[in-house]
Structures are given as structure tokens and as C-alpha cells.
Structure 1
Amino acid sequence: MSAIVVGLSHRTAPVALLERVSVSGDALVKLLHDVQQTGCVAETMVVSTCNRVEVYAVVDRFHAVVNEVSALLSVHSGVPVEQLAPHLYVHYEDRAVEHLFSVGAGLDSMVVGEGQILGQIRQALRLAQEQGTLGTTLNELVQQALRVGKRAHAETGIDRAGASLVGVGLALAERALGPIGGRRALVVGAGSMSALSAATLQRAGVTDIVVVNRTHERAVRLAQTVGGRAARFDDLAAELAGADLVISCTGATDVVITADMIARGDAAAGPGELFLLDLALPRDVDPAVRRLPGVTLVDLESMQEGGADAGTDDGGRAEAVTAVRGLVAGEVAAYLSAERAARVTPTVVALRSKAADVVEAELGRLVGRVPEIEGRIRDEVAQTVRRVVDKLLHEPTVRVKQLAESPAGDHYAEALRELFNLNPKVPDAVRRAGTIDMEVDR
């Protein structure tokens, strides 16, 4: 069984296509189970964010799963496979591990080094666990990717090198509006991205923050954390009229802020500068607002086109990225080495188990043929035979574990299975592994 990832991201697809393919809520749960039920997938997890939609799986067939997942993404998004396929990427085995570790470390984000991806991977992991689509292999792989991401943020300057999308958006807002400290900000939505936006606004010196959300109680809770006030969703148009800066990130499937809402607000409150930052996927703000005078809209598509690097230090970023790439490469090598060594363990256990069975059978035959042998002598003979077998097996089993860490390591385990007619899946062999290992240690 091998790991595979099939997906698309801001690097391979335009935002308009990502909007169509993105899934959340019940649709995400359904996609998760549909992938799991293809017949060629043992474990699966789906990461769906504003910048990527990726299906991770543990499979026994490569081409079959690529075709199945591509077809499912097409069905769920309504995008024909022939239109979707040019934007899809596939990473298999070692490359899948490297890709996931790079994503977790922030190397593959629109804003290099942003830390939100760790939370998004964690959410995807939790959902797969809750839905029962995760097994040992994928769980361990994702957990290690989360640890790699934490190391990258803790041990390098990647956090400073790349701000979050919110930080980049606010840097662009200051270019358009000037200092935002004395401005009035409106946050639309109350999820994790909205909470980050509100906290970032507060740290930037914005004291007049209004939060609007369909569930008013959630808006109230978020507003209280930043010393702002909550408004009801029905009052969104009125709140837009008094805002200088709007950050919107809801889970809505249709636009939340229309050009007509802003135009009416301008007419009521008088014309003024308005900056809108749309971090939602699908988008919250109608692109038509760009045609309104005094209005600036920055969304994921425009940030993608602009490189999303406002306010970053290119020299520091390059140094941090190099450091994280080195960290990721080391972690990938260590993970693959351990994973390959683990693959050969059942074969080694089966070999030792078979040897132990042969020894016990022969000792039993000896006692049957020479029943008068004294107990002390019988025990000494038994111990000697076991020690001889252990010493004969010690070097080849240690060596095959070492060789298993190489890319072609599976071939050595396969050779052992063929030479000794082993079945590493026999439960009794696995059950007695601990006992056999203790005998060898002596």
C-alpha cells in the first residue's frame, strides 16, 4: 500500500476554478466517503481550503485511483474531467510524502510561511478520523506532517518571511487608504479566518471593529474578543455604508456583498473610500464592485496574480525558505527510512517465528527418540540449538532491516519471503514477535 495525493491548488489552477471545486460541510463529508468507497482506497483524507483541494489516500493501485478521484472531483464540482485534468497534479509514494510535508511547512502556500495551513490540515485529519476513513498509515503520515510544520515555524524565520493572507491584505489596504489605525473595520463572518482577521485588525491599532455573521451569537462572541460590537446579518448593507475597510470570509456558496448594496450605501452616506478584502472561496464579494468609484477590491484571485508578497523582505524570505526546505528534506528522508524499515518487520518476524517452530519441533522429536535423556542435559541441548539458530539469523535479519531503508529495500524482504516460503501475514507470527526478539537480545 502506498500514499498518493491528487489535487489542484493556486499554483496550478485559477481561483475561479478552485471556487468551483472547493467543498465544505456535508459536501466534503460526501466526497470523503465517495473516495473511500472506490474499491482501490484503503484510507483517505481531503484537504479543502481557499488555495487548494487535495485528496490524500493510501492505495494499492496507482492508475485506478487517479482516474477515480479525478472523476469524483469532476462530479462534485460539475467541472468536466477534460477541463479539470490539466490543472490536477499527482504525487505518489516518496513525492506524496514530500508534498504533504512541504504543504504543512508553508512552502506551498500562496503566502509562503503562513501558519493557517497547519490548522486546516488538522481539521482535515480530525474529520477523516470522525468519519472513519483514516487508518494507521495515513494517520501517522499526517501527524508527522503536522510535527514538521511546527518545527518549521519554531526553528526558522518562515513566520517572519511570509505574513498571513490577512497581513498581506492589510498591507494592501494601507496602500489604498493610508494608516488604518483610525479607520472603521467591518468583519463579515465569524469562522477561524474571520477571527484571525479581527485579531490582526486589533493588533494594527483598529479600535472600531464591527462583526456581522448569520449566526448572531457567534458574531457577539468574536466581537467581544476584540472589543468591538456585533451587528445582525440583516443590517449588513447599513454597516457597509459606514465602513472604511471590510474583510469578508464566510462559508456562503453565493456572493454576500453585491455592488448594489455598496452603491445604495454610498448614496445614503455620501461617497468615500472603501477597501474590501475578500478571503472567501467561493468569493463573498461581487467582482462588479470594482466598477464603483472609490472602491478597491482585493480577493484571492488578485492576490494570486500579484504574488501575494506585499510587505515581505525578499532576502529574509529566501533565507528562511532555504532553511525550511532543508528541514523538510531531512524529515522526508527520516520518515521514508523508518517507513521502509517497518515494511520489512513482518517478514523478519515471520522468519524468526518459522525458525522457532522448526527448533521446537526438532527438540520435541529428540525427546521422543531419546526419552532417557536427563533434564539438565535436555535443557542445555535446547538452549544450544536455540542459540545457534539465533546467531545464524541475527546477521541476515539485521542486514535486511538496514537494506530496507534504501529505495529498493522491499526487494530484499521479498527475496527472504521467496527463499524461506514465508507468510508475514500469519497472525501467530506477529503475536510471537516480542518473545522472539527477547530471545535474540539474550
Structure 2
Amino acid sequence: MFIIYVNLDYHPLPLALREQFSFAAEQLAQADQQLNEEKSILENVILSTCNRTEIYAVVDQIHTGRYYLKRFLANWFKVDLATINDYVMIEEQSAAVTHLFRVASGLESLIIGEPQILGQVKRAFFAAQANATTGAIFNHLFQEVITFAKRMHTEYKISEHSISSSQAGLHQIKAHLQSLQDKQLAIVGLGEMGRQALDNAYNMGFSRIVLVNRTLAKAQHLAANFGGQVSAAPLTKLPDVLATSDAVITAVATQEPLIDAQALTVRQPNLVLIDLGVPRNIRITPQLAEQLHYYNIDQLTEIVQSNNELRQQLVKKIAAEIPVAVQEYYTWQRQLHIVPVIKELRESALVVQDTALTSLQHKLPELNEHELKVIRKHMKSIVNQMIKQPIKTIKELSITSDADVDIDFFKQIFGLAEVDEAAVKKEVAK
């Protein structure tokens, strides 16, 4: 069995073609099932996002697997095979597994380290699993990948280091306010930076977000797309909005300041002001700026630059851990053929245990149920301790060059029957 992945992603593929080669969410189940019916395909998972379309497959032969994966894509998207060949990238075995670990960890994303891709990988795997297009290989591999990526995001927190000024501003707001529950954010100006701030802020936990804009209709139309959490106000109502807000982001192209010291005299000292405007939208004294947690575009740019350096260091640390995870996976895969032998050893040991317990009951009929339970528990513990080291040893020997000889010798020592290929395949398929 071999692992292959076929990749159509944002690196070489123009947007127009990325749109063409994308699986709709409602089509994913059908696509998984149809692919699984192709010759040579034993297991498969389809991952389709706005930036990438990837297929991961377990195949019985690499050459035929490559062909039928490409043919499936050509048939599904109704293009000729030559078009698929022009844009498709195929990797096999450890390169494919390494790529999956990198994708789930966010190292292959357009925004390096973003956590959304992990959720997309999980959904793709669970969808394939629900449609019975995964088996022992992918059930184990994808669980390992998901666990690894979660640990990387938790340990290194790469996504918390902002890559844009608006993100940096929002992180400063969260740092100063701590909890965003019952907090109101005002976003003044709905150009590109204001829209970006809204997109990033919407799921952060603010109770209320008020969009303030010269054109009220534009603010109302945008607010309607985000539900009741977001409301709109005209620029003339800015003083009233300031009076009820805990944080303000301004991003307006204007030569005159929108907010000055007089507008902030009645505010609590906790207010966080993020000024993305050039020229600056907020003009206050340095003393008041410090008191109110004020950040202008230059200060935020410095934070972003520092974060970029830190993100690159974290990327290298995550990338350095992936080869170890890949090696652990392949160690597990190489040990698959020993599973039926270990299972038979355990079953043989249980037979010995049950036989001994039955004999003891005949010789000591006066034993009550509690006493038998205690004896049974200790006998089981003894058996487990006796076979623990042999199992550990044979698992280690099963991945050496002399594995077949060692396994045969192991079976002779413990009086185990021959384990045929059918038994191995049956165990692997579980």
C-alpha cells in the first residue's frame, strides 16, 4: 500500500482555474464515494478550500494510482487529462505525509500559520470517514496529523502574531481589555482597512460593533450582512458612539482629525484607540495618548514587523518537528503486520488465565464472588506483565531487515499458529 497526494493549490494555479477546480461542499460526499470506486484507490480524503484542492489516497500501486487520481479529476471537472497534467502536482509516500502535516499546521497556507486550515482538514477527514472512504491507514494518519497540528498551534501560538496593522490593533485592544464580553467596538471608516478590521473583529467576542461612516446607507448595508451584533451610525453621531465604546478603530482618509482631546474628556481611562489613518484621524497630547492606550499606524507597523520575524522563527520550529512525526507514523505503519501476532499472543495468554482460574474454582469451591474477582484481577495483572516485554521487543524487531525470521522465531517460542495474509489484511481493514 502506498500514500499519494494530488495537489491543485494557489502557488502555481491562477484564480480562474482554482475556481474551476474546486469541490462544492454539497458535492464532497459524492466525490469521495465516486473516487473510492476508481481502480487502485483503497482509501481517499478530498480537501477543497478557497486556496487549494487536494486529494490524499492510499493506493495498491503508485503508477496506476497516479493515473486514476488524475483521470478522476479530469472527469469530475470535465476537462481533458492534458489540462490536469499541466497544473497537478503529485507526491508519494513520505513526501505526501510530510505535506499533510505541513498543511494542517498552516505552513502551506497563504497566511502562514493560520488556524482555519486545521478545521478544514478535520471536516474533510470526518466527511470521508462518514462516507466509508477511509480505513486503518488514513484513520490513524489523519488523527495523528490533527493531534500534531493542535499541539503546534497551542505550543507556538503562531496565529496570534499579527500580520496586518488592523490585526495588530485588535490584538492590542484584546490585550488591554482582557475580556471582550459586554464590550463595544467602534469602527470608523469602511474602506479596505475598516472592512478588514470588521472581518477580523466579528468573531473575537465583542458584544457590540458599531460601524460609523459618512454614508450611513453603506454602513447599514454592511451591518445587515453580519447580524444583530453589528449596527450602523452616521459620522455625525461619532461623539455619541465614543461615549459608549470601549475601543475605537479609525481608518478614514481625511486631512482633518476626527477625534481630538475635547471629544475624549468624558471617557474612562480604559479606552483603547487604534488610529489607522494617514494623516492621523486622532490628534491628542502624548500624555493623553498613553493614558488612553493610543496606537498610530507607525506603532502598529513596528509590531507587525516584529511579529513577522517571530513568525518566521516559529515556522522553523514547527517545520523541525514534522520529520519526527512522519517517522513515528511510518514506524506504526511498518508494525501493522505484527498486529495479528500480538493479538494471538494476548488471546493465548487469556486462555491460560481462564484455564487456571477455572481449575482454582474447582479446587476451592468455597471462594465467593468478591474473592474470585480479586484473584481474577491479580491473575490478569500477572499475565499482562509477563507479555509486556515480549510484545515491546517483537514490535521493535518487526521493523528490522530480519523481521520475518524474528517473527517466526517469536511464534515458535510462544506456540502461536501461522498468521496468514488474510488475517493481516482483515486486521488492517478494521
Shift of residue 401, structure 1, vs aligned partner:
1.6
Q: 1:59 to 1:403 in 2, by over 3 A?
A: same
Specify the alignment match of 1:24 in structure 2. Answer: 24
Specify the alignment match of 2:11 in structure 1. Answer: 11
- What 5-or-longer segments of structure 1 have no aligned partner? 171-179, 187-193, 214-218, 230-243, 246-309, 360-374, 377-392, 431-442
Q: Separation in 2 of the partners of 1:202 and 1:167?
A: 15
Write out aligned runs for 1:281-300 (5 A).
none
1:157-189 Cα shifts (integer Å, max 9, x gaps): 42245649x959x9xxxxxxxxx9411379xxx
* TM-score when normalising by structure 1: 0.55
- Is contact 1:18–1:52 with CA below 8 Å preserved after alignment? yes
Of 336, 339, 345 in structure 1, the residue corresponding to residue 330 of structure 2 is 336
1:55-96 Cα shifts (integer Å, max 9, x gaps): 112222211121111111122223432222243222323222
Task: Give yes or no for the alignment of 1:224 onto 2:224.
Answer: no
1:182-227 Cα shifts (integer Å, max 9, x gaps): 11379xxxxxxx97674479799863596879xxxxx968422445
Specify the alignment match of 1:183 in structure 2. Answer: 189
Shift of residue 10, structure 1, vs aligned partner:
1.8
- What 5-or-longer segments of structure 2 have no aligned partner? 171-185, 193-197, 213-217, 234-250, 253-303, 353-361, 364-386
- Is contact 1:9–1:53 with CA below 8 Å preserved after alignment? yes
Of 207, 211, 215 in structure 2, the residue corresponding to residue 207 of structure 1 is 211
Q: Separation in 1 of the partners of 2:224 and 2:13?
A: 37
State the AA in 2 paired with 1:184.
L
Q: 1:132 to 1:321 in 2, by over 3 A?
A: same
Specify the alignment match of 2:35 in structure 1. Answer: 35
Write out aligned runs for 1:37-436 (5 A).
37-161=37-161, 163=163, 181-184=187-190, 198-199=202-203, 207-208=211-212, 222-227=226-231, 313-349=307-343, 398-405=392-399, 422-423=419-420, 425-426=422-423
Q: Separation in 1 of the partners of 2:398 and 2:342?
A: 11
Q: Separation in 2 of the partners of 1:68 and 1:110?
A: 29
- Is contact 1:185–1:210 with CA below 8 Å preserved after alignment? no
Q: 1:162 to 1:185 in 2, by over 3 A?
A: closer
- Is contact 2:394–2:407 with CA below 8 Å preserved after alignment? no
State the AA in 1 paired with 2:114.
E
Q: 1:17 to 1:325 in 2, by over 3 A?
A: same
SS at match of 2:335: helix
State the AA in 2 paired with 1:403.
L
Q: Separation in 1 of the partners of 2:127 and 2:219?
A: 31
Q: Separation in 2 of the partners of 1:5 and 1:74?
A: 16
Q: Separation in 1 of the partners of 2:220 and 2:85?
A: 40
- Is contact 2:208–2:230 with CA below 8 Å preserved after alignment? no
State the AA in 1 paired with 2:67.
N
- Is contact 1:184–1:206 with CA below 8 Å preserved after alignment? no
* TM-score when normalising by structure 2: 0.56
Shift of residue 399, structure 1, vs aligned partner:
4.2
- Report percent identity of matched pairs: 24
State the AA in 1 paired with 2:395.
K
Q: Separation in 2 of the partners of 1:203 and 1:411?
A: 64
Shift of residue 40, structure 1, vs aligned partner:
1.9
Q: Separation in 2 of the partners of 1:117 and 1:409?
A: 41
- Is contact 1:4–1:91 with CA below 8 Å preserved after alignment? yes
State the AA in 1 paired with 2:148.
V
- After superposition, the CA RMSD in angstroms is 4.7
- Is contact 1:31–1:72 with CA below 8 Å preserved after alignment? no
The aligned length equals 300
Q: 1:123 to 1:356 in 2, by over 3 A?
A: closer
